[in-house]
Amino acid sequence: MDVAFIGIGVMGSGMAANLIRAGHKLKIYTRTKAKAQGVLDLGAQWCPDIKTCVTGVQAVITIVGYPKDVEEVYFGENGIIANAAPGTYLIDMTTTAPALSVRIDAAAREKGLLALDAPVSGGDTGAKNGTLTIMAGGDRTAFDACMPLLEAMGKTIRYTGKAGSGQHTKMANQIAIAGTIAGVCEAIVYAKAAGLDVMDTLATIGTGAAGSWQMANNGPKMAAGDDKPGFYIKHFIKDMDLALEEGKTRGQELPVLSLVESMYVGLMENGLGEKGTQALIARYEKGTP
C-alpha cells in the first residue's frame, strides 16, 4: 500500500522501517528531518508538511507524543482529516485520550474517511523487531483492510471494539505495567541487599510465576544501570495520567497506579523525564523522591 507515516521517533522509526521492508511505499513527515534519516535511507519519501504527506496515499499512520500533538496533526485546515482523500484509512497509533479517538472517528466519517485508534505495546524492541502488540478500536472494515500494515509492525493484533476501545485497552495495559515495573525494581533492590547475584536471580525467578516482559527486558537493564529509553518516562507519565483520569470519570480507585505515577513524577522533577521507564530503579537505589 501507499502509506503516509507521521511521527518518526523512538517507536515510529522501527515501525516505518518494517513497513518498507514488507513492501509498502512510504511518504513520511516529522518535525525533525534528521530523526528520519534511517527511514529515508531505506527508501521513504520525505514530505515538508502534512498536506503533501497525506496526498495520494491509501492509509495514514500516526504515532506522535501527546494528545495535543494528535489534535494538531488531525484537525485544522492543515491537518490530516482536511487533506486526506475520501476512502483513506487513518490509523492513530499514539496512546491518547479515548474521547479524542472518538472525535477523530466522527470527524473522519463526515469526510468519508475510515479511522482506527490502534495504540501499541512492546517498546522500541518490539517496534524494531515487528513484534508489537496492537490494540485496535474503530471501524471494523478499516481494521480488516489494514491488516497487512498491522502485520508488518506487530505480532499480536486484536480488534477491541468501537472507536476509543483500543485506547481503553492500552490504558489497562499501562495500569498493569505500572505495578509490574515497580515490583521488578523492588525485587532487584531486595536481591542486592541480600547479597544475591542479581542477574542470576532474575533468570531464576523470571521462569516462574513472577516472570513478565518487564522482568525479562527491563530487569537486566535495571541491574546493569542502563537507563537508555525504549519508552520515555515523560510519555509513561502521560499514559498514567490518562488512565487515572479515565478511572476518575468512572469513580474508580487505582491506588497502585497512583503511587507508581507519583514516583515517576518525582523522577521527572529531578530531570529524568528523557530516561527509559526502567530508570524507576533510581527511586529505590539513589533515594530520588
Domain 2-162 coded CATH 3.40.1390.20: no
Distance CA 40, CA 19 (A): 13
Supply 178's cell numbers.
Answer: 505500572
The CATH-assigned architecture of domain 169-285 is Orthogonal Bundle (1.10)
Range 86-94 average pLDDT? 98
pLDDT at position 35 over 90: no
pLDDT tens digit sequence for 142-166? 999 999 999 999 999 999 999 999 9
Which residues make up the CATH 1.10.1040.10 domain(s) of the chain?
A: 169-285
* C-alpha to C-alpha distances, 275 to 38, 184, 231, 260, 284, nearest whole angstrom: 22, 17, 8, 16, 16
The burial class, CB within 10 Å (0-12 / 13-18 / 19+), for 26 is buried
More confident residue, 289 or 248: 248
Residue whose entry in the numeric block shows the C-alpha cell 525467578: 205
Q: What's the mean pLDDT in 54-61?
A: 98
From its phi and psi, is residue 9 left (phi > 0), alpha (psi between -120 and 50) or beta? beta
| 33 carries an active-site annotation | no
Model pLDDT, residue 289: 52
Name the residue type at position 251: G
Instruction: Find out whether 239 and 174 touch, Cβ atoms under 8 Å.
Output: yes
Q: Which residues of 101-131 are buried (b: 16+ CB within 10 A; e: fewer)?
A: bbbbbebbeebebbbbbbbbbbbbebbbebe
- pLDDT recorded at residue 179: 97
- Residue 287 pLDDT level (bands cut at 50, 70, 90): low
Task: Give pTM, 2 decimals.
Answer: 0.94
Among candidate residues 27, 128, 170, 238, the one labeled active-site is 170
Mean pLDDT value of segment 4-26: 96
End-to-end CA distance of the chain: 48
Q: Residues of CATH 3.40.50.720 domain(s) within the chain?
A: 2-162
| pLDDT tens-place string over residues 103-114 | 999 999 999 999
